[in-house]
Structure 1
Amino acid sequence: MDIGRTGIWSIELRTADPGAIEDAAAELDAMGWGALWIPGLGGGDILGDSERLLGATRTVRIAVGVLSIWRHRAAEMAAGHARLQQLYGHRLLLGLNGVSDAAAAHGAGRAYRPLSDMDAYLDELDRAPAPVPAGERVMAALGPKMVRLAGRRTAGVHPFMVTPEHSAATRELLGPGPLLAPYQAVVPERDPARARAAARGFLGTFLAMDHYARSLLRQGFTEEDLADGGSDRLVDGVVAWGDTEAIGARVRAHHQAGADHVCLHVVGADSSVPLAEWRELAALAG
């Protein structure tokens, strides 16, 4: 599935007023973004929300980034995926997560065995009456074992909160074939103090999560970088801020490191749907 070189990642495309979502999706499609990514948000009707976006757009791909394998049954996802692909022309990419959601596993009465459970979930998708093809699913993989599994059994990986250096290391693990589509938080703000404040307001929750903290430490950040909302070094490393050229430079750095696609998440916006910021970034669409 060709998802282009850049996309938009948006919580608002799941949580805003349905009419506003449809209007925004249609405009983003017209801008030329390769994919619109929506998060799993811990559950909910991810297929219904994907269908809203598919119905409002004509050519852009819709990607789930990502659903929990412990909250969504594989049989239901495979059947829904097949129905939407038939209706809307194979434009839906399923993103899967099994590493970061230990609470969901325990809530479902399951032991927390992310690697083996992800492998088993992929088996279920393969055995479904209408299987989800490997090329129409990706994984949110950060650790090397999950990255290698994604490279073997899916289109590739969709890593969260990573630097271009991480993209280079992930490309080395994956080899030349699989998709590498990192998430990139962005703040379209030129003032350093305001940009970093917005970035810290977003990052705080994730810095307190053990799996993201471990990932950042593996990327070369220190415990001191993770303290007090994140050092300037950490903030600048995982959030791109500034004008469109500065944000575009970060996108190019990921591409030069081996990424095929970079999806941009506008954080710190004042509006419920950040259309003004998306319009400002439209020069990066493709």
Structure 2
Amino acid sequence: MLGKEGDAGMDLGRLGVWVPTDRLDTTGLRALLHLVEQKGYGTVWYPEARGYESMALAGFLLANSTKLVIGSSIANIYARDAFTARRALATLNALHGGRFALGLGVSHIPMVEGLRGHQYEKPVPAMRAYLDGMRKAGEGAPEGPVLLAALGPKMLALAAAQSDGAVPYNVTPEHTRQAAQILGPDKILAVEQKVCVETDKARARALGRQELARYMTLPNYVNNWLRLGFTEDELKDGGNDRFIDAMVLSGDAETVKQGLRAHFTAGATHVCIQPVTEEGDARHRDAMLAALADT
């Protein structure tokens, strides 16, 4: 079982930062890494979308930091075969002091079929087969943690059985509670949470809707929000206020911290915050990271 070969004991720290890396050039990435490390966050998480390739980017982020764990959230399983993923995990940890966590996900139909030209398979069987391939690709000493982008109960059960944990995205503390129960006490549960330290609620919600728009048409997220009790009406037209407030914690810093702590109370082992700002507003982003670092 891959989970037994991995390293669920890697210290991600209490808090991490989720970074939309495709929006940043090398100067911006280095500046953000420096700030995140300076403020005491444990991990930087990054996606794989239309820009930077995941493993090459991980090498850059590791080379330009000293203590941070760098985690893919997520590397698309359709972007490289299982053998390559296993060797990338081993290579990055061997060359960078064991600071890389491999988060894997099935991504979404537009990113798989429309962008890459692959056939999108049923998510759980596809991930199970991929993990089987990774297991066959390596033997011996642990090479680093493998985590799954798991939202539904079946993918969470697979994460519990065959990986070191889960990296849920666009979720609520109720989902965190359910995920923690399925994963059990010995797994990593690293939860992403969007935040906006902004006391003007209308402005915060407008920023939230702008940030969430790209996710509102993706069935994997929509189905999970419906499972969590949001209604189809609440998800229409960019999402109603209740939905937006759940997805993007807003208010003053202490109010946002309370929302982050709710994930820990629900069973998260690590929470990675994603600041939501106007496009390119590094000053607001950095102020949020400074204000929330002691959550």
**In 2, Cα distance between the equivalents of 1:276 and 1:158?**
26
Q: Which runs of 4+ in 1 moved over 6 A?
A: none
**In 2, Cα distance between the equivalents of 1:99 and 1:147?**
15
TM-score by length of 1: 0.92
Distance 1:65 1:275, change over 3 A: farther
**Partner of 1:182: helix, strand, or coil?**
strand
1:102 Cα deviation after fit? 6.6
Distance 1:109 1:191, change over 3 A: closer
**In 1, Cα distance between the equivalents of 2:128 and 2:27?**
38
Distance 1:44 1:56, change over 3 A: closer
1:50 Cα deviation after fit? 0.8
User: 1:29 aligned to 26, 32, 37, which one?
Assistant: 37
**Partner of 2:103: helix, strand, or coil?**
strand
Partner AA of 1:209 in structure 2: L
Q: Is the 8 A contact 2:103 2:147 kept in 1?
A: yes
Structure 2 counterpart of 1:198: 207
Q: Is the 8 A contact 2:102 2:144 kept in 1?
A: no
**Partner of 1:48: helix, strand, or coil?**
helix
**In 1, Cα distance between the equivalents of 2:274 and 2:100?**
19
Quick one: percent identity of the two aligned structures?
35
Distance 1:232 1:109, change over 3 A: closer
Structure 2 counterpart of 1:244: 253
Partner AA of 2:73 in structure 1: G
Structure 2 counterpart of 1:3: 12
Matched, 1:73 2:72: no
**In 2, Cα distance between the equivalents of 1:213 and 1:109?**
22
Structure 1 counterpart of 2:262: 253
**In 2, Cα distance between the equivalents of 1:268 and 1:280?**
10
Distance 1:165 1:39, change over 3 A: same
- Which structure 1 segments of 5+ residues have no match? none
1:205 Cα deviation after fit? 2.2
Matched, 1:93 2:75: no
Equivalent pairs counted in the alignment come to 284
1:27 Cα deviation after fit? 2.2
**Partner of 2:101: helix, strand, or coil?**
strand
**Partner of 1:152: helix, strand, or coil?**
helix
1:181 Cα deviation after fit? 1.0
Partner AA of 1:88 in structure 2: H
1:271 Cα deviation after fit? 2.2
Structure 1 counterpart of 2:234: 225
**In 1, Cα distance between the equivalents of 2:250 and 2:143?**
34
- Cα shift readout 1:191-213 (whole Å, capped 9, x = no counterpart): 00000000011112212222211
Distance 1:65 1:131, change over 3 A: farther
**Partner of 2:234: helix, strand, or coil?**
helix
**In 2, Cα distance between the equivalents of 1:19 and 1:252?**
32
Partner AA of 2:85 in structure 1: M
User: 1:281 aligned to 269, 276, 289, which one?
Assistant: 289
Distance 1:50 1:109, change over 3 A: closer
1:105 Cα deviation after fit? 5.5
Partner AA of 1:59 in structure 2: K
Aligned pairs (5 A) from 1:169-188: 169-188=178-197
**In 2, Cα distance between the equivalents of 1:36 and 1:285?**
13
RMSD: 2.2
